[in-house]
Structure 1
Amino acid sequence: MGAILVIGSSYGSAKVNSDSMAPTYSSGELVFLEKIDAGETERGDVVFYRTANRYQGMPVLQRVIGLGGDRVRQSPGGPVTVNGKPLAEPYVKDGDPSGTTPAYDVVVPEGRLFLLGDYRANSYDSRYFLAEQSGSVAATAVQARVLDSRAGLLLWASAALLGLLAAVGGLAAGTVSWAKRRAVG
């Protein structure tokens, strides 16, 4: 039962509702999520978050590009740089890291995240909110991280299923034993 509670409280899923994360995740695709605390977020994570003042309060999937204290820059047609180092972004759709936005150069406030979609020409992300704390989102808005691999989730689900089967088997054996003792006595 413990494994079931862990899975029920630590993992979830969501359906992708736009192409802003293409080609990594397509509209209509089901993604598996691992619930995390704000301090567990890392650069490169695809996170599931919600803010009241953006996207009509709907949850969004975007990739973490910058953490609190990072300087994030980009010139049109050039790579995104974090703290002066160009990011290797093989996940960006059509190899275009800039999309259609003008140049930007921001320092991410502490406790906040700079987030971008993988399909930069079709993502309404941190670049469009630069006037609001450098376009960043509070790290506490993150509800979960998308699992890159389903292997961990499958292992937990297998353990929960085996535990459940063992519990049912034990209950059945106990019931049969009780019934036999009662019939004899």
Structure 2
Amino acid sequence: MVDYQKVNVRGENMRPTYEHGDTAWFSMGADSENFEVSRGDVVLVSVPEWVPDELVLLRVVAFGGDRIEYRRGESTLRLNGEPLDEPYILDRSVPSPITFDVTVPEHRIFLLGDNRNNSADSSMHLLGQDQGTVHISAVRGEGVRRPTDYIVVGGAAVSGAVMCVVGGGLGVWALMLRRRRPDPVLPAWPAA
């Protein structure tokens, strides 16, 4: 069974996707569980070197083996040499406040906030051997739509099953009532 957790968003780093005070929903896992995240997914990560004692809400931009780069003056980041379409960022004309060129090591991810000018993300931690990347095991939760969407779909399925049972029962009851009625008596002589 999937464990959902709601998180109250603090800060401005994921604007416009999440505003300060919004509620975000995540499917949660054990500390060492590896999630099957994809590029573009919003995740909760534990990065004590960046933010002690808190989970950080960021977006996965690149995986191990990917090359992610930004050159001042360009209108997009480049992922493996190709422009990266990011419709979710706050200011699309400035996809990063600093330049970088990182080849992500295996089993690691490069994370950015959607409000690039106000986000303590991988681009702000480029110094060091890991160049701002985070081990994939740091992921604690994957962003999902509100679980109420799943509850509504499940509720509709259950309601449909109940309606089928009730409808079938009413149909059987109607047949039984019909059998109880005596057949009409027809006159013995032919009608003229």
> Where on the TM-score scale, by shorter chain, does this alignment land: which range?
0.7 to 0.9
- Percent identity of paired positions between Structure 1 and Structure 2: 34
Structure-1-length-normalised TM-score: 0.74
Q: Confirm whether residue 89 of structure 1 aligns to residue 82 of structure 2.
A: no
Gaps of 5+ in 1: 1-5, 163-185
- Pick closer, same or farther for the CA change 1:11–1:137 going to 2, 3 Å: same
After superposing the two structures, state which structure 1 stretch, 45-54 or 107-116, moved more: 45-54
Structure-2-length-normalised TM-score: 0.72
Q: Confirm whether residue 14 of structure 1 aligns to residue 10 of structure 2.
A: no
More helix by share: 1
Number of equivalent positions? 153
Gaps of 5+ in 2: 160-192
The letter for the 1-side match of 2:93 is D
Give the Cα separation in 2 of the matches to 1:69 and 1:104: 16
Q: Deviations over 1:3-54 (max 9, x none)?
A: xxx25xx211101001110000001000111125425011000001112211
The structure whose Rg is larger is 2
Q: Confirm whether residue 34 of structure 1 aligns to residue 27 of structure 2.
A: yes
Give the Cα separation in 1 of the matches to 2:147 and 2:90: 23
The letter for the 1-side match of 2:121 is D
Q: Confirm whether residue 73 of structure 1 aligns to residue 65 of structure 2.
A: no
Structure 1 runs (4+) greater than 6 angstroms displaced: none
Partner of 1:124: 120
The letter for the 2-side match of 1:135 is G
Which has the higher relative contact order, 1 or 2, with Cα contacts under 8 A spaced 6 or more apart? 1
Q: How well do the aligned residues superpose, as a CA RMSD in angstroms? A: 2.3
